[in-house]
A and B are shown apart, each in its own frame.
Chain A
Amino acid sequence: GQQLNQSPQSMFIQEGEDVSMNCTSSSIFNTWLWYKQDPGEGPVLLIALYKAGELTSNGRLTAQFGITRKDSFLNISASIPSDVGIYFCPPKGETSGSRLTFGEGTQLTVNP
Chain B
Amino acid sequence: GAGVSQSPRYKVAKRGQDVALRCDPISGHVSLFWYQQALGQGPEFLTYFQNEAQLDKSGLPSDRFFAERPEGSVSTLKIQRTQQEDSAVYLCASSSSGQGGREQYFGPGTRLTVT
Interface residues of A (CB under 8 A from B): 31, 33, 35, 40-45, 48, 50, 88, 90, 92, 97-105
Contact = CB atoms under 8 A, between A and B. Distances in A.
Contacts of A88: 42-43
Nearest to B50: A98
Contacts of A100: 33, 35, 43, 45, 93, 104
B103 A42 contact: no
A109 to B, nearest CB: 15
Given A42-B108, A50-B102, A104-B41, A97 B91 contact: no
B18 interface: no
B56 A102 contact: no
A33 B103 contact: yes
Contact of B107 (A42, A90, A105): A42
Contacts of A44: 106
Interface in B30-62: 31, 33, 35, 40-45, 48, 55-56, 59
B105 A99 contact: no
Given A98-B33, A99-B56, A48 B103 contact: yes
